[in-house]
Amino acid sequence: MTTTPAPPARRLPSPWWWTAAAVLLGVHVLAWRGTDFSLTALIQGRHGMATFISDAFPLDLDWAEVLGPSLEAAAVTLYIGLLGTTLSIPSALVLAVLAARSSGYGAASYQAARSVLSFLRAVPDVVFALIFVTAVGLGPFAGVLALIAHNTGVMGKLWAEAMEESDPGPREALRVLGASRLRTVLHAVLPTVLPQFVGLLLYRFDVNVRSSLVLGLIGAGGIGFLINQSIKLFRFDEMATHILVVLVLVIAVDQLSALVRRRIAA
């Protein structure tokens, strides 16, 4: 007669897990109070939201006054996101090479490049836009400069991490043959990570188009500027039209990015 083995005893969570859960709960309580989060206030404000939505419909689709300028401003928003992405490629690539251990440029350049990338990522693009507005004035140019600065930090870090995760075989082979650091990067590292680079670049383009909308709210041009104007003038029907144009723009950019990524992966 065989006896079935007893099921293993369940192990209770370690005290560390209980401590982490308690700390996480405490932080959420502090966040709830610090942000004045209140479902009651949201429910009490439903009448104001209902009035806001009712004023936004029907949409104002007047071509000369609303829809035409909205489409032109959406094109400017797209241009800001495009230039902010593509013009940051050289600086992001140089900093990524220096900030990747696989490039072999030494600890000093690694730390310096990482520090620069951390600074550019830490400063939001909105803050950069406010700084550049004081330098070049209101308009899309300030938005482009802001995106170049911030996107260099974000994309440089993403590219550096992709380079560090690349296959070490090709670069080690070139180093054994006596190739310089630059040749190793150009002929061994970059070719192996090029698809990842393009995918990350398209992702950042998608994000930057959305960011350029927010930059327009502070005077950096584009359709965000029109949305801000409509809100200030209480023309919520115009605002809803602008938001609809933004929705179409974002969907089109997203579909285009997805199509290119699929072609690259194929």
pTM of the model: 0.80
Whether the link from the prior residue into 7 is cis, omega within 30° of 0, is no
Question: From the centroid of its chain, how far is CA 19?
Answer: 33
Token pair recorded at residue 71: 């489409």
CA 109 – CA 105 distance, rounded (Å): 6
The domains of the chain, with CATH numbers, are 60-265 (1.10.3720.10)
Token pair recorded at residue 116: 């620069």
Three-class SS state of 187: helix
CA 209 – CA 258 distance, rounded (Å): 15
List pLDDT tens digits, range 61-117. Answer: 878 888 888 899 899 999 999 999 999 999 999 998 888 877 767 778 888 988 999
pLDDT at residue 15, rounded to an integer: 76
| pLDDT of 212 strictly over 90 | no
- Other C-beta atoms closer than 10 Å to the C-beta of 45 total 11
More confident residue, 11 or 249: 249
